[in-house]
A and B are shown apart, each in its own frame.
Chain A
Amino acid sequence: MKIQEKGSKIILFTCNWNAYSGLEGAGAEKRSYSASVHPIRLSCLGRITPGIILKAFEQGAKGVYLVGCLEDECRYETGSQQIREIFLETKNLLKLLGYQDNQCQLDFVAAGNGKSFVENIHKFVKGIEELEENL
Protein backbone atom coordinates (compact mmCIF):
# COMPACT_ATOMS: atom_id res chain seq x y z
CA MET A 1 0.00 0.00 0.00
CA LYS A 2 1.20 3.48 -0.79
CA ILE A 3 2.35 5.40 2.26
CA GLN A 4 0.02 8.22 1.23
CA GLU A 5 -3.02 5.95 1.48
CA LYS A 6 -2.01 4.83 4.97
CA GLY A 7 -1.80 8.41 6.14
CA SER A 8 1.81 8.04 7.29
CA LYS A 9 3.89 11.18 7.43
CA ILE A 10 7.40 11.86 6.25
CA ILE A 11 9.09 15.02 7.45
CA LEU A 12 11.45 16.72 5.05
CA PHE A 13 13.82 19.24 6.63
CA THR A 14 15.52 21.48 4.09
CA CYS A 15 17.96 24.31 4.23
CA ASN A 16 16.46 27.67 3.23
CA TRP A 17 19.05 28.27 0.51
CA ASN A 18 20.22 25.81 -2.14
CA ALA A 19 18.18 22.87 -0.91
CA TYR A 20 14.87 24.69 -0.70
CA SER A 21 15.40 26.25 -4.08
CA GLY A 22 15.49 22.65 -5.35
CA LEU A 23 12.01 22.20 -3.97
CA GLU A 24 10.87 25.48 -5.51
CA GLY A 25 12.45 24.36 -8.78
CA ALA A 26 10.40 21.16 -8.60
CA GLY A 27 7.28 23.28 -8.15
CA ALA A 28 8.13 25.55 -11.07
CA GLU A 29 8.76 22.52 -13.28
CA LYS A 30 5.46 20.97 -12.07
CA ARG A 31 7.15 17.86 -10.74
CA SER A 32 5.04 16.07 -8.16
CA TYR A 33 6.06 14.03 -5.14
CA SER A 34 4.18 12.09 -2.46
CA ALA A 35 1.65 14.12 -0.47
CA SER A 36 2.91 12.30 2.65
CA VAL A 37 6.05 14.42 2.51
CA HIS A 38 5.81 17.50 4.69
CA PRO A 39 8.63 19.95 3.99
CA ILE A 40 9.89 22.15 6.83
CA ARG A 41 12.25 24.92 5.81
CA LEU A 42 15.07 25.89 8.19
CA SER A 43 17.47 28.83 7.93
CA CYS A 44 20.27 26.31 7.76
CA LEU A 45 20.11 22.54 8.13
CA GLY A 46 23.07 22.80 10.51
CA ARG A 47 20.68 24.52 12.94
CA ILE A 48 18.73 21.32 13.56
CA THR A 49 19.40 19.18 16.63
CA PRO A 50 18.99 15.45 17.29
CA GLY A 51 16.17 16.42 19.68
CA ILE A 52 14.14 17.94 16.83
CA ILE A 53 14.59 14.86 14.63
CA LEU A 54 13.66 12.51 17.49
CA LYS A 55 10.62 14.69 18.19
CA ALA A 56 9.39 14.10 14.63
CA PHE A 57 9.54 10.35 15.21
CA GLU A 58 7.97 10.69 18.67
CA GLN A 59 5.03 12.46 17.06
CA GLY A 60 4.54 9.63 14.62
CA ALA A 61 6.64 10.39 11.53
CA LYS A 62 7.62 7.25 9.62
CA GLY A 63 10.67 8.89 8.16
CA VAL A 64 12.74 12.04 8.40
CA TYR A 65 14.57 13.19 5.28
CA LEU A 66 17.24 15.86 5.64
CA VAL A 67 18.26 17.75 2.53
CA GLY A 68 21.07 20.26 2.77
CA CYS A 69 23.40 22.21 0.51
CA LEU A 70 26.60 20.92 -1.03
CA GLU A 71 29.50 21.39 1.34
CA ASP A 72 31.28 24.13 -0.60
CA GLU A 73 28.00 25.97 -1.20
CA CYS A 74 26.89 26.41 2.43
CA ARG A 75 25.84 30.01 2.98
CA TYR A 76 27.11 29.84 6.55
CA GLU A 77 30.29 27.95 5.65
CA THR A 78 30.05 25.24 8.32
CA GLY A 79 26.38 24.21 8.20
CA SER A 80 26.91 21.22 5.91
CA GLN A 81 29.67 19.88 8.13
CA GLN A 82 27.54 20.43 11.24
CA ILE A 83 24.61 18.52 9.82
CA ARG A 84 26.86 15.55 9.03
CA GLU A 85 27.85 15.33 12.70
CA ILE A 86 24.28 15.86 13.94
CA PHE A 87 23.03 13.23 11.49
CA LEU A 88 25.54 10.62 12.69
CA GLU A 89 24.68 11.27 16.33
CA THR A 90 20.96 11.01 15.57
CA LYS A 91 21.40 7.82 13.53
CA ASN A 92 23.14 6.17 16.48
CA LEU A 93 20.29 7.16 18.79
CA LEU A 94 17.64 6.01 16.30
CA LYS A 95 19.37 2.66 15.89
CA LEU A 96 19.21 2.14 19.66
CA LEU A 97 15.51 3.03 19.56
CA GLY A 98 15.00 0.33 16.95
CA TYR A 99 14.51 2.48 13.83
CA GLN A 100 15.78 1.24 10.49
CA ASP A 101 18.62 2.81 8.57
CA ASN A 102 16.44 4.15 5.76
CA GLN A 103 14.00 5.92 8.08
CA CYS A 104 16.38 8.85 8.48
CA GLN A 105 18.61 9.93 5.65
CA LEU A 106 20.74 12.89 4.69
CA ASP A 107 21.35 14.16 1.15
CA PHE A 108 22.93 17.23 -0.35
CA VAL A 109 21.59 18.85 -3.52
CA ALA A 110 22.77 21.62 -5.79
CA ALA A 111 20.77 24.86 -6.02
CA GLY A 112 17.62 24.81 -8.10
CA ASN A 113 17.88 21.20 -9.18
CA GLY A 114 14.21 20.27 -9.03
CA LYS A 115 14.57 17.04 -10.98
CA SER A 116 17.23 15.60 -8.72
CA PHE A 117 15.33 16.81 -5.63
CA VAL A 118 12.15 14.98 -6.59
CA GLU A 119 14.05 11.84 -7.57
CA ASN A 120 15.67 11.80 -4.15
CA ILE A 121 12.26 12.20 -2.47
CA HIS A 122 10.79 9.34 -4.56
CA LYS A 123 13.69 7.11 -3.53
CA PHE A 124 13.29 7.96 0.14
CA VAL A 125 9.51 7.42 0.11
CA LYS A 126 9.95 4.09 -1.70
CA GLY A 127 12.35 2.95 1.03
CA ILE A 128 9.79 3.75 3.72
CA GLU A 129 6.98 2.03 1.77
CA GLU A 130 9.07 -1.13 1.40
CA LEU A 131 9.81 -1.04 5.10
CA GLU A 132 6.14 -0.75 5.99
CA GLU A 133 5.26 -3.64 3.66
CA ASN A 134 7.77 -5.88 5.42
CA LEU A 135 6.41 -5.11 8.88
Chain B
Amino acid sequence: MNGFKQIVQSNRVWLCLDCGKCSSVCPITRHVVDCYTSPRLLVETAIGCGEAEVLDDPLLWSCLTCNQCTEICPSLVSFSDFIQNVREAARDQDRSGDCTHGGMIQTWGRMMTDPELKQDRLDWIGSGLKTSEESDTVYFTGCLPYYDAAFEKLDIEGIEIARSALKILNHLGIEPIVLADERCCGHDQFWQGDMAAFRKLGEANLEILKRTGAKRIVTTCPECAWTLKHTYPDTIGDSGMEVLHLAELLAETDLLDNLTINPDTAHKQVTYQDPCRLGRFSGVYQSPRDLIQGLGYELKEMDHNREASLCCGTSCWSSCGQVNKKIQVERLKEAKSSGAELLITACVKCQIHFKCAQNDPVLEEEVQINIRDLTTLIAEQL
Protein backbone atom coordinates (compact mmCIF):
# COMPACT_ATOMS: atom_id res chain seq x y z
CA MET B 1 0.00 0.00 0.00
CA ASN B 2 1.21 3.46 -0.84
CA GLY B 3 1.20 5.75 2.16
CA PHE B 4 -0.95 8.85 1.79
CA LYS B 5 2.13 11.08 2.03
CA GLN B 6 3.67 9.32 -0.91
CA ILE B 7 0.43 9.66 -2.87
CA VAL B 8 0.39 13.39 -2.16
CA GLN B 9 4.01 13.71 -3.23
CA SER B 10 3.84 11.61 -6.39
CA ASN B 11 0.78 13.48 -7.64
CA ARG B 12 2.15 16.93 -6.66
CA VAL B 13 -1.21 17.86 -5.17
CA TRP B 14 0.41 20.20 -2.64
CA LEU B 15 0.24 22.69 -5.52
CA CYS B 16 -3.56 22.71 -5.03
CA LEU B 17 -3.24 24.39 -1.62
CA ASP B 18 -2.39 27.75 -3.13
CA CYS B 19 -4.84 27.62 -5.99
CA GLY B 20 -8.36 26.21 -6.04
CA LYS B 21 -9.29 26.67 -9.68
CA CYS B 22 -10.27 22.99 -9.70
CA SER B 23 -12.88 23.64 -7.04
CA SER B 24 -14.51 26.32 -9.17
CA VAL B 25 -15.32 23.82 -11.94
CA CYS B 26 -15.86 20.60 -9.95
CA PRO B 27 -19.47 19.44 -10.56
CA ILE B 28 -19.54 17.64 -7.20
CA THR B 29 -18.52 20.78 -5.30
CA ARG B 30 -21.25 22.69 -7.11
CA HIS B 31 -24.03 20.26 -6.29
CA VAL B 32 -23.27 18.94 -2.80
CA VAL B 33 -25.43 21.02 -0.46
CA ASP B 34 -25.24 19.39 2.97
CA CYS B 35 -21.53 20.11 3.41
CA TYR B 36 -18.67 21.80 1.62
CA THR B 37 -16.43 19.48 -0.37
CA SER B 38 -13.90 20.31 -3.03
CA PRO B 39 -10.72 18.94 -4.59
CA ARG B 40 -8.61 21.52 -2.76
CA LEU B 41 -10.23 20.71 0.58
CA LEU B 42 -9.58 17.00 0.09
CA VAL B 43 -5.94 17.74 -0.64
CA GLU B 44 -5.77 19.93 2.47
CA THR B 45 -7.25 17.07 4.49
CA ALA B 46 -4.75 14.61 3.03
CA ILE B 47 -1.85 16.90 3.96
CA GLY B 48 -3.05 18.29 7.27
CA CYS B 49 -5.20 15.56 8.79
CA GLY B 50 -5.03 11.83 9.32
CA GLU B 51 -5.92 8.99 6.97
CA ALA B 52 -9.31 8.50 8.63
CA GLU B 53 -10.43 12.02 7.65
CA VAL B 54 -9.38 11.41 4.04
CA LEU B 55 -11.25 8.11 3.92
CA ASP B 56 -14.39 9.81 5.25
CA ASP B 57 -14.24 12.73 2.82
CA PRO B 58 -17.43 12.76 0.71
CA LEU B 59 -15.45 13.55 -2.45
CA LEU B 60 -13.31 10.41 -2.27
CA TRP B 61 -15.95 8.12 -3.78
CA SER B 62 -18.20 10.69 -5.42
CA CYS B 63 -15.43 12.22 -7.57
CA LEU B 64 -16.33 11.55 -11.20
CA THR B 65 -12.68 11.53 -12.30
CA CYS B 66 -14.03 13.58 -15.18
CA ASN B 67 -10.82 15.64 -15.38
CA GLN B 68 -12.54 19.02 -15.51
CA CYS B 69 -10.23 20.02 -12.66
CA THR B 70 -7.10 18.95 -14.55
CA GLU B 71 -8.28 20.76 -17.66
CA ILE B 72 -8.28 24.07 -15.81
CA CYS B 73 -5.28 23.37 -13.56
CA PRO B 74 -2.37 25.77 -14.20
CA SER B 75 0.08 23.29 -12.67
CA LEU B 76 -1.00 20.20 -14.66
CA VAL B 77 -1.96 18.30 -11.51
CA SER B 78 -3.96 15.16 -12.27
CA PHE B 79 -6.45 15.17 -9.43
CA SER B 80 -8.16 12.11 -10.97
CA ASP B 81 -4.92 10.12 -10.63
CA PHE B 82 -4.64 11.30 -7.02
CA ILE B 83 -8.18 10.08 -6.36
CA GLN B 84 -7.44 6.74 -8.03
CA ASN B 85 -4.32 6.28 -5.88
CA VAL B 86 -6.18 7.14 -2.66
CA ARG B 87 -9.04 4.78 -3.58
CA GLU B 88 -6.48 2.02 -4.14
CA ALA B 89 -5.07 2.67 -0.66
CA ALA B 90 -8.60 2.87 0.79
CA ARG B 91 -9.38 -0.58 -0.67
CA ASP B 92 -6.58 -1.98 1.45
CA GLN B 93 -8.56 -0.77 4.45
CA ASP B 94 -11.75 -2.41 3.18
CA ARG B 95 -13.32 0.85 2.09
CA SER B 96 -15.23 1.25 -1.14
CA GLY B 97 -17.78 3.46 -2.85
CA ASP B 98 -21.53 2.96 -3.08
CA CYS B 99 -22.77 -0.49 -4.00
CA THR B 100 -24.70 0.78 -7.03
CA HIS B 101 -27.08 -1.49 -8.93
CA GLY B 102 -26.86 -4.00 -6.09
CA GLY B 103 -23.20 -4.60 -6.90
CA MET B 104 -24.22 -6.33 -10.16
CA ILE B 105 -21.67 -4.67 -12.41
CA GLN B 106 -18.75 -5.05 -10.02
CA THR B 107 -19.72 -8.69 -9.52
CA TRP B 108 -19.82 -9.65 -13.18
CA GLY B 109 -16.48 -7.86 -13.56
CA ARG B 110 -14.97 -10.03 -10.81
CA MET B 111 -16.61 -13.16 -12.28
CA MET B 112 -14.77 -12.42 -15.51
CA THR B 113 -11.44 -12.69 -13.68
CA ASP B 114 -12.00 -16.48 -13.57
CA PRO B 115 -9.59 -17.99 -16.12
CA GLU B 116 -11.95 -20.99 -16.56
CA LEU B 117 -14.90 -18.78 -17.53
CA LYS B 118 -16.47 -19.78 -20.84
CA GLN B 119 -18.67 -16.89 -21.89
CA ASP B 120 -21.44 -17.11 -24.43
CA ARG B 121 -21.21 -13.54 -25.62
CA LEU B 122 -21.31 -13.62 -29.43
CA ASP B 123 -25.00 -14.34 -30.06
CA TRP B 124 -25.57 -10.72 -30.98
CA ILE B 125 -23.58 -10.95 -34.21
CA GLY B 126 -26.30 -12.91 -35.99
CA SER B 127 -26.49 -13.10 -39.77
CA GLY B 128 -25.53 -10.42 -42.25
CA LEU B 129 -22.51 -9.21 -40.31
CA LYS B 130 -19.05 -10.49 -41.20
CA THR B 131 -16.27 -11.30 -38.78
CA SER B 132 -13.17 -13.41 -39.27
CA GLU B 133 -10.69 -15.52 -37.37
CA GLU B 134 -7.76 -13.66 -38.84
CA SER B 135 -7.69 -9.94 -39.45
CA ASP B 136 -5.46 -7.00 -38.67
CA THR B 137 -8.36 -5.47 -36.71
CA VAL B 138 -10.03 -6.59 -33.50
CA TYR B 139 -13.41 -5.14 -32.60
CA PHE B 140 -13.40 -4.93 -28.80
CA THR B 141 -17.05 -5.16 -27.80
CA GLY B 142 -16.53 -4.33 -24.12
CA CYS B 143 -19.47 -4.91 -21.80
CA LEU B 144 -22.10 -3.92 -24.40
CA PRO B 145 -23.85 -7.34 -24.36
CA TYR B 146 -24.02 -7.15 -20.57
CA TYR B 147 -25.34 -3.58 -20.44
CA ASP B 148 -27.90 -4.57 -23.05
CA ALA B 149 -29.20 -7.28 -20.73
CA ALA B 150 -28.93 -5.26 -17.53
CA PHE B 151 -30.49 -2.02 -18.76
CA GLU B 152 -33.12 -3.36 -21.10
CA LYS B 153 -35.78 -1.41 -19.20
CA LEU B 154 -34.07 1.89 -20.02
CA ASP B 155 -34.36 1.06 -23.72
CA ILE B 156 -30.68 1.80 -24.31
CA GLU B 157 -28.85 1.11 -27.54
CA GLY B 158 -26.65 -1.57 -26.03
CA ILE B 159 -25.85 -4.33 -28.44
CA GLU B 160 -27.21 -2.23 -31.29
CA ILE B 161 -24.04 -0.14 -30.96
CA ALA B 162 -21.90 -3.25 -31.49
CA ARG B 163 -24.00 -4.39 -34.46
CA SER B 164 -23.73 -0.94 -35.97
CA ALA B 165 -19.96 -0.91 -35.48
CA LEU B 166 -19.66 -4.24 -37.33
CA LYS B 167 -21.89 -2.94 -40.12
CA ILE B 168 -19.70 0.15 -40.51
CA LEU B 169 -16.47 -1.85 -40.40
CA ASN B 170 -17.87 -4.31 -42.99
CA HIS B 171 -18.86 -1.35 -45.15
CA LEU B 172 -15.21 -0.24 -45.04
CA GLY B 173 -14.14 -3.72 -46.14
CA ILE B 174 -12.95 -4.71 -42.66
CA GLU B 175 -14.03 -8.09 -41.29
CA PRO B 176 -12.72 -7.81 -37.74
CA ILE B 177 -11.95 -10.45 -35.16
CA VAL B 178 -14.56 -10.45 -32.40
CA LEU B 179 -13.34 -12.26 -29.30
CA ALA B 180 -15.45 -14.94 -27.66
CA ASP B 181 -13.45 -14.85 -24.43
CA GLU B 182 -12.92 -11.11 -24.17
CA ARG B 183 -13.19 -9.77 -20.61
CA CYS B 184 -14.38 -6.44 -19.26
CA CYS B 185 -11.48 -4.03 -19.88
CA GLY B 186 -11.31 -3.28 -16.15
CA HIS B 187 -11.80 0.48 -16.44
CA ASP B 188 -14.25 0.60 -13.56
CA GLN B 189 -12.18 -1.69 -11.36
CA PHE B 190 -9.14 0.53 -11.94
CA TRP B 191 -10.95 3.77 -11.08
CA GLN B 192 -12.58 2.14 -8.05
CA GLY B 193 -9.08 1.22 -6.87
CA ASP B 194 -9.73 -2.53 -7.17
CA MET B 195 -6.31 -3.31 -8.62
CA ALA B 196 -6.47 -7.06 -7.94
CA ALA B 197 -9.50 -7.49 -10.23
CA PHE B 198 -8.15 -4.95 -12.72
CA ARG B 199 -4.85 -6.77 -13.12
CA LYS B 200 -6.54 -10.13 -13.66
CA LEU B 201 -8.88 -8.70 -16.28
CA GLY B 202 -6.10 -6.81 -17.99
CA GLU B 203 -3.72 -9.78 -18.06
CA ALA B 204 -6.44 -12.03 -19.50
CA ASN B 205 -7.31 -9.46 -22.18
CA LEU B 206 -3.69 -8.83 -23.13
CA GLU B 207 -3.05 -12.54 -23.57
CA ILE B 208 -6.15 -12.96 -25.74
CA LEU B 209 -5.41 -9.86 -27.80
CA LYS B 210 -1.77 -10.77 -28.43
CA ARG B 211 -2.82 -14.25 -29.54
CA THR B 212 -4.87 -12.75 -32.41
CA GLY B 213 -1.81 -11.32 -34.14
CA ALA B 214 -3.88 -8.27 -35.07
CA LYS B 215 -2.37 -4.81 -35.35
CA ARG B 216 -5.29 -2.65 -34.36
CA ILE B 217 -8.08 -2.60 -31.75
CA VAL B 218 -11.25 -0.68 -32.55
CA THR B 219 -13.87 -0.09 -29.89
CA THR B 220 -17.06 1.89 -29.50
CA CYS B 221 -16.53 2.52 -25.79
CA PRO B 222 -14.31 5.51 -24.87
CA GLU B 223 -13.50 3.88 -21.52
CA CYS B 224 -12.26 0.66 -23.17
CA ALA B 225 -10.25 2.77 -25.64
CA TRP B 226 -8.56 4.77 -22.88
CA THR B 227 -7.90 1.72 -20.71
CA LEU B 228 -6.46 -0.43 -23.50
CA LYS B 229 -4.40 2.43 -24.88
CA HIS B 230 -3.06 4.03 -21.70
CA THR B 231 -3.90 2.21 -18.46
CA TYR B 232 -2.71 -1.25 -19.62
CA PRO B 233 0.73 -0.02 -20.80
CA ASP B 234 1.12 2.09 -17.64
CA THR B 235 0.22 -0.67 -15.20
CA ILE B 236 0.20 -4.16 -16.74
CA GLY B 237 1.74 -4.29 -20.18
CA ASP B 238 1.45 -3.13 -23.76
CA SER B 239 -0.48 -5.06 -26.37
CA GLY B 240 1.69 -3.42 -29.02
CA MET B 241 -1.47 -2.70 -30.97
CA GLU B 242 -2.93 0.59 -32.09
CA VAL B 243 -6.12 1.40 -30.13
CA LEU B 244 -8.84 3.57 -31.61
CA HIS B 245 -12.36 4.59 -30.78
CA LEU B 246 -14.48 4.02 -33.88
CA ALA B 247 -14.97 7.80 -34.28
CA GLU B 248 -11.20 8.22 -34.57
CA LEU B 249 -10.96 5.47 -37.17
CA LEU B 250 -13.82 6.88 -39.24
CA ALA B 251 -12.27 10.34 -39.25
CA GLU B 252 -9.39 8.87 -41.25
CA THR B 253 -11.69 7.32 -43.87
CA ASP B 254 -13.85 8.73 -46.65
CA LEU B 255 -16.91 6.88 -45.32
CA LEU B 256 -19.17 9.89 -45.33
CA ASP B 257 -17.84 11.56 -48.47
CA ASN B 258 -20.09 9.69 -50.87
CA LEU B 259 -23.04 9.44 -48.51
CA THR B 260 -26.44 10.49 -49.78
CA ILE B 261 -27.81 12.54 -46.93
CA ASN B 262 -31.10 11.26 -45.63
CA PRO B 263 -33.72 14.03 -46.02
CA ASP B 264 -35.02 13.14 -42.53
CA THR B 265 -31.75 14.12 -40.92
CA ALA B 266 -30.81 17.04 -43.16
CA HIS B 267 -30.61 20.21 -41.09
CA LYS B 268 -32.05 18.51 -38.03
CA GLN B 269 -30.62 20.28 -35.00
CA VAL B 270 -28.60 18.03 -32.74
CA THR B 271 -26.14 18.45 -29.90
CA TYR B 272 -23.17 16.35 -28.83
CA GLN B 273 -22.11 15.11 -25.39
CA ASP B 274 -18.33 14.69 -25.16
CA PRO B 275 -17.69 11.53 -23.11
CA CYS B 276 -14.96 12.32 -20.54
CA ARG B 277 -12.63 9.51 -21.66
CA LEU B 278 -12.95 10.44 -25.34
CA GLY B 279 -12.84 14.22 -24.88
CA ARG B 280 -10.75 15.49 -21.99
CA PHE B 281 -8.77 12.25 -21.55
CA SER B 282 -8.05 11.40 -25.21
CA GLY B 283 -8.44 14.83 -26.79
CA VAL B 284 -10.86 13.56 -29.45
CA TYR B 285 -13.26 16.46 -29.92
CA GLN B 286 -13.40 17.19 -33.63
CA SER B 287 -13.80 13.73 -35.20
CA PRO B 288 -17.26 13.03 -33.73
CA ARG B 289 -18.39 16.54 -34.67
CA ASP B 290 -17.18 16.09 -38.26
CA LEU B 291 -19.07 12.79 -38.46
CA ILE B 292 -22.26 14.35 -37.09
CA GLN B 293 -22.09 17.16 -39.62
CA GLY B 294 -21.18 14.67 -42.33
CA LEU B 295 -24.49 12.94 -41.67
CA GLY B 296 -26.27 16.20 -42.52
CA TYR B 297 -27.15 17.27 -39.01
CA GLU B 298 -26.85 20.85 -37.85
CA LEU B 299 -24.72 20.77 -34.70
CA LYS B 300 -25.76 23.10 -31.91
CA GLU B 301 -23.19 23.20 -29.12
CA MET B 302 -24.26 23.16 -25.49
CA ASP B 303 -23.00 25.99 -23.23
CA HIS B 304 -20.38 23.63 -21.82
CA ASN B 305 -18.69 21.83 -24.67
CA ARG B 306 -15.38 20.28 -25.67
CA GLU B 307 -12.82 20.80 -22.85
CA ALA B 308 -15.50 22.37 -20.64
CA SER B 309 -18.06 19.64 -21.30
CA LEU B 310 -19.99 18.31 -18.29
CA CYS B 311 -19.78 14.65 -17.30
CA CYS B 312 -22.91 12.49 -17.58
CA GLY B 313 -22.98 12.45 -13.78
CA THR B 314 -21.63 9.06 -12.75
CA SER B 315 -18.36 7.26 -13.18
CA CYS B 316 -17.19 3.69 -12.58
CA TRP B 317 -20.46 2.86 -10.80
CA SER B 318 -19.02 4.10 -7.51
CA SER B 319 -21.72 6.62 -6.64
CA CYS B 320 -25.35 7.19 -7.51
CA GLY B 321 -27.53 9.63 -5.63
CA GLN B 322 -28.93 13.10 -5.40
CA VAL B 323 -25.75 14.82 -6.55
CA ASN B 324 -25.32 12.58 -9.59
CA LYS B 325 -28.93 13.12 -10.53
CA LYS B 326 -28.52 16.89 -10.28
CA ILE B 327 -25.55 16.79 -12.65
CA GLN B 328 -27.49 14.66 -15.13
CA VAL B 329 -30.50 16.97 -14.98
CA GLU B 330 -28.28 20.04 -15.39
CA ARG B 331 -26.74 18.52 -18.50
CA LEU B 332 -30.05 17.39 -20.01
CA LYS B 333 -31.53 20.84 -19.48
CA GLU B 334 -28.48 22.32 -21.16
CA ALA B 335 -28.97 19.98 -24.10
CA LYS B 336 -32.59 21.06 -24.42
CA SER B 337 -31.79 24.74 -24.16
CA SER B 338 -29.29 24.42 -27.01
CA GLY B 339 -32.32 24.12 -29.27
CA ALA B 340 -31.39 20.61 -30.36
CA GLU B 341 -33.99 17.87 -30.71
CA LEU B 342 -31.47 15.04 -30.45
CA LEU B 343 -28.61 14.46 -28.01
CA ILE B 344 -25.81 12.40 -29.54
CA THR B 345 -23.11 10.72 -27.52
CA ALA B 346 -20.35 8.22 -28.21
CA CYS B 347 -20.40 6.28 -24.93
CA VAL B 348 -23.00 3.77 -23.81
CA LYS B 349 -22.62 4.83 -20.18
CA CYS B 350 -23.59 8.45 -20.97
CA GLN B 351 -26.71 7.02 -22.58
CA ILE B 352 -27.50 4.78 -19.59
CA HIS B 353 -27.10 7.60 -17.06
CA PHE B 354 -29.06 10.19 -19.02
CA LYS B 355 -31.89 7.79 -19.81
CA CYS B 356 -32.06 6.80 -16.15
CA ALA B 357 -32.39 10.49 -15.15
CA GLN B 358 -35.11 10.94 -17.78
CA ASN B 359 -37.16 8.30 -15.97
CA ASP B 360 -37.93 10.74 -13.17
CA PRO B 361 -41.70 11.28 -13.34
CA VAL B 362 -41.45 14.66 -11.58
CA LEU B 363 -39.17 16.24 -14.17
CA GLU B 364 -41.13 15.08 -17.20
CA GLU B 365 -40.70 17.43 -20.17
CA GLU B 366 -37.84 19.42 -18.63
CA VAL B 367 -35.33 16.67 -19.39
CA GLN B 368 -36.96 14.87 -22.31
CA ILE B 369 -34.73 14.82 -25.37
CA ASN B 370 -34.09 11.89 -27.67
CA ILE B 371 -30.66 10.32 -27.00
CA ARG B 372 -28.74 8.29 -29.59
CA ASP B 373 -25.27 6.90 -30.07
CA LEU B 374 -23.13 8.23 -32.91
CA THR B 375 -22.32 4.70 -34.13
CA THR B 376 -25.93 3.64 -34.60
CA LEU B 377 -26.79 6.90 -36.37
CA ILE B 378 -23.98 6.38 -38.87
CA ALA B 379 -24.87 2.72 -39.48
CA GLU B 380 -28.49 3.64 -40.15
CA GLN B 381 -27.47 5.79 -43.07
CA LEU B 382 -25.19 3.31 -44.84
Q: B357-372 vs A: 1/0 string, CB under 8 Å?
A: 0000000000000000
CA distance A55 to B101 in the complex (A): 12
From A27-35, A72-80, A88-96, A116-124, the one touching the partner chain is A88-96
CA distance A58 to B103 in the complex (A): 12
Most buried by A among B107, B108, B110, B112: B107
- Beta-carbon contacts under 8 Å, A44-60 to B: 49-52, 54-55, 57-58
B359 CB to nearest A CB, Å: 15
A51 touches B102 (CB 8 A): yes
B119 touches A89 (CB 8 A): no
Instruction: Check B97 for interface membership: any CB of A closer than 8 A.
Output: no
Interface footprint category on A: 10 to 19
CB contacts (< 8 Å) of A89 on chain B: these are: 149-150, 152
CA distance A54 to B102 in the complex (A): 10
CB within 8 A of A50: which of B104, B112, B121, B145?
A: B104
Interface footprint category on B: 20 to 34
B150 touches A58 (CB 8 A): no
New A-B contacts (4) at CB < 8 Å, excluding given A89-B150, A96-B145, A98-B117? A54-B104, A54-B108, A93-B108, A98-B118
CB within 8 A of B149: which of A51, A55, A58, A93?
A: A93
Q: List 12 A-B contacts (CB under 8 A).
A: A50-B150, A51-B99, A52-B102, A52-B103, A54-B111, A85-B153, A89-B152, A92-B152, A93-B146, A97-B108, A97-B112, A98-B117
CA distance A128 to B119 in the complex (A): 19
CA distance A98 to B181 in the complex (A): 10
A97 touches B111 (CB 8 A): yes
**Given the contacts A50-B150, A96-B120, A58 and B102 also touching, CB distance less than 8 Å:** no
CB contacts (< 8 Å) of A92 on chain B: these are: 149, 152
CB contacts (< 8 Å) of A50 on chain B: these are: 102, 104, 150
Interface residues of A (CB under 8 A from B): 49-52, 54-55, 57-58, 85, 89, 92-93, 95-98
- Beta-carbon contacts under 8 Å, B72-112 to A: 99, 101-105, 107-108, 110-112
B143 CB to nearest A CB, Å: 9
A57 touches B111 (CB 8 A): yes
**Given the contacts A50-B150, A89-B152, A97 and B102 also touching, CB distance less than 8 Å:** no
CB-CB nearest 6 A-B residue pairs: A51-B102, A49-B102, A51-B104, A92-B149, A51-B103, A98-B118
